[in-house]
Chains A and B, each alone.
Chain A
Amino acid sequence: MHELSIAEELLEIIETRARDAGIHRVERITLKIGEYSGIMPEALEFAFLVLSRGRCTEGAEIEMQAVAPEYLCKKCGLTQPAPQEGCSGCGSFDLTLKRGNELSIVSFEGE
């Protein structure tokens, strides 16, 4: 989607948090990217690379942990991957997406 603007938001959050922690050079960043987040990891990484020039994240390694979609059945409580036709345990359609649309920063390292 709009990976460039997402990368800019990401950089601004890291710059602020790095400044607070007294970190001048960020070496490694860990992200969680849900498969339903609409984000293309390669495009995000490229945008990050371009925007990082001359900033504290220049040259940082970026690790993206993919998160597969997971649904929770509100009737029987079963957690499952994307259902085919209702809950795979009880057949109910009262399921809700619990994981899979994440777009978050887990941590970063630097000195």
Chain B
Amino acid sequence: MKVNVMSDILKANDLLAKDIETLLGKKGIVAWNIMGSPGAGKTAVLERSIPMLTETHGVAVIEGDLATANDAERIARTGVQSSQINTNGACHLDAAMVRTAMETIDLDTINLLFIENVGNLVCPAGFLLGEKGRIIVSSITEGDDKPEKYPSMFSTADLVLMNKMDLVSSTDFREEYFRKGVKKLRPEADIIAVSARDGSGLREFVDWITEHSRVSP
């Protein structure tokens, strides 16, 4: 006997992600899934941008790491709510982990939720978390061929931040080559050059978030 299934293998996760999206939508909250390599500067970009974002938004951050609460502590120092998920070895966040972490956040005081995924350019791509969109932080020291090497992740990005641009003169990073690599995989993605260290480009990032996080009344 043959049974037609036609089901996504990750359907259970996708359904839970949909529930999260609905819950956030009811509360008027927009979530962004922040992905990138370990050390790309995901937390640093958030740390430097949060003071600008809180001028107009209520912000919270869920931090995903294999171990330690270092990143949630860094975020907490900016004065916003943060919640740490320790995956204890798992290479990505899934919707169930995010749902649990959300219980520690006061959702009535925020309208912007950043979910910083585990540093990894492969695994997080397959797991929806209830986000409106995906932001990849890619540091220029990782090389300009990262998009073409990691198509599964870059093909889902809504925004790509080229971080550590203050170091560009010390590297062989070809900005145009990188941009083309992203556009091949995800033509509609926006790309912004930033430096979390000297702050350049972060205002443009904050404006992008503001523009794309509007909730229709």
Contact = CB atoms under 8 A, between A and B. Distances in A.
B3 A104 contact: no
A23 B9 contact: no
B153 A38 contact: yes
B77 interface: no
Interface in B74-93: 90-92
B3 A101 contact: no
A59 interface: no
Contacts, number: 110
A56 to B, nearest CB: 12
B123 A2 contact: yes
A89 B202 CA distance: 35
B185 interface: yes
A21 B188 contact: no
B132 interface: no
Interface string A48-81: 0000000000000000000001010000000000
Given A38-B122, A103-B126, A21 B3 contact: yes
B142 to A, nearest CB: 18
B169 interface: no
Given A94-B187, A94-B188, A96-B188, A23 B6 contact: no
Interface size class of A (residues with CB under 8 A): 35 or more
A6 B10 contact: yes
A69 B148 CA distance: 13
Contacts of B8: 102-105
Interface in A5-39: 5-6, 9-10, 13-14, 17-18, 21, 23, 31, 35-39
Interface in B172-205: 180, 183-188
B10 A71 contact: no
Interface string A39-53: 100000000000000
Contacts of B2: 107-109
B162 interface: no
Contact of A105 (B9, B91, B188): B9
B183 A9 contact: no
Interface string B85-119: 00000111000000000000000000000000000
A38 to B, nearest CB: 4
B12 interface: yes
A84 B184 contact: yes
A36 B185 CA distance: 10
B123 A38 contact: yes
Interface string B122-165: 11011000000000000000000000000111011000000000
Interface of A: 1-2, 5-6, 9-10, 13-14, 17-18, 21, 23, 31, 35-39, 69, 71, 82-87, 92-97, 100-111
Question: Lowest 9 A-B CB distances belong to which pairs?
Answer: A38-B152, A1-B123, A95-B187, A93-B187, A105-B5, A109-B2, A36-B152, A107-B4, A1-B122
